[in-house]
Amino acid sequence: MGLFDNMVGGILSNMLSKAGTDGAGSLLETVLNGPMGQMLPGLLNSAFAKTPFGSLDGVLEQLQHAGLSDAVASWISNGPNAPVSAEQITAALGADRLGEVATTLGLSADQLPDLLAQHLPTIIDRLSPEGVLNVPGR
């Protein structure tokens, strides 16, 4: 992994781990509404580019193929976001693949499903204000 990859992984890991479970909603809102909010989707997309999913789009496609189409559609459309659990994320994406993603992000494999379940709906919702997913850098 190169220096840039380490830097991206470190920034993303720091942002996601600080979101944690306590007060995560308000921290995530602050991050998404601030200058880092513009960078977070691109950082996520870059991190997933180095995994079997290839991109954030690839992650969403895998979730849809694994039976979470309604949840993903709710994140992209207007209206409330359907929740997903860490167990659903793990079943849909696979523990081994999530381990690869976690390594890329500098997180433990145990943390990533919880963080994705908690924050991915909000991130995708923010990337699709008009009902169309718009990932920076793609």
**pLDDT tens per residue across span 68-100:** 999 999 999 988 999 999 999 999 999 998 888
Q: How confident is the model at residue 56 (pLDDT cuts 50, 70, 90)?
A: confident
Q: What is the pTM of this model?
A: 0.74
Whether the per-residue pLDDT at 126 is higher than 50: the answer is yes
The reported pLDDT for the residue numbered 24 is: 45
DSSP conformation letters of the chain: --HHHHHHHHHHHHHHHHH-STTHHHHHHHHHHSHHHHHHHHHHHHHHHTSTT-SHHHHHHHHIIIIIHHHHHHHHSSSPPPP--HHHHHHHH-HHHHHHHHHHHT--TTHHHHHHHHHHHHHHHHT-TTSS---TT-
4-52 pLDDT per residue, tens = 444 445 555 555 555 554 444 455 556 566 665 666 677 777 778 878 8
